[in-house]
């Protein structure tokens, strides 16, 4: 992806004790992060994207931020199902996806996945 957007710096950080999760949880988290980064690159015109994964005993917290143009959350785009799909993916893991954005202030995507409930998924 960096080849497509050479002027965007992407920083990655992990906090807490890293641990392997169920493969379907790892795959879903990867897709959520991937979609967040792709959305920022395609729409936000950022110079920097930060990805932080924090492992806690009972949950995984993911924060993806960009310094791009942001957007007005009250304006929904007709036919834009990407954010809805991201929320649904988080909810399938008994988690939550929160998007915070303001025009000119960038965007934050917060993902909370509880591990006990997520581990019980079949």
Whether residue 84 is contained in a domain is answered as yes
Helices (runs of H) and strands (runs of E) counted in the chain: 3, 5
Please report the pLDDT score of residue 80 as a whole number.
63
Can you list the residues of the chain whose pLDDT is less than 50? none
Residue 74: give its domain's CATH number: 3.30.565.10
Please report the pLDDT score of residue 75 as a whole number.
76
Distance CA 46, CA 42 (A): 9
Cβ contact 70:39 at 8 Å: no
Check residue 43 and report its DSSP letter.
I
Whether residue 63 is contained in a domain is answered as yes
In the sheet that holds 48-55, the strands lie side by side as 9-15, 48-55, 59-66, 107-114, 96-101
Helix (H, G, I), strand (E, B) or coil at 21: coil
* Tally of domains in the chain: 1
What is the domain extent for residue 73?
Answer: 9-117
pLDDT, tens digit, 9 for 90 and up, residues 25-59: 999 999 999 999 999 999 999 999 999 999 999 99
Whether residue 3 is contained in a domain is answered as no
Please report the pLDDT score of residue 77 as a whole number.
63
Whether residue 113 is contained in a domain is answered as yes
């Amino acid at each position: 992806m960096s080849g497509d957007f050479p002027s965007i710096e992407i920083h990655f950080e992990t906090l807490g004790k890293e641990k392997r999760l169920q493969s379907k949880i790892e795959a879903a988290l990867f897709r959520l992060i991937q979609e967040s980064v792709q959305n920022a690159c395609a729409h936000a015109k950022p110079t920097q994207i930060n990805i932080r994964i924090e492992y806690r005993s009972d949950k995984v917290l993911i924060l993806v931020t960009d310094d791009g143009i942001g957007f007005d959350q009250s304006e929904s785009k007709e036919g834009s199902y990407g954010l809805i799909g991201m929320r649904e993916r988080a909810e399938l893991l008994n988690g939550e996806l929160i998007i915070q954005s303001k025009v000119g202030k960038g965007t934050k995507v917060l993902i909370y996945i509880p591990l006990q409930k997520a581990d019980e998924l079949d």
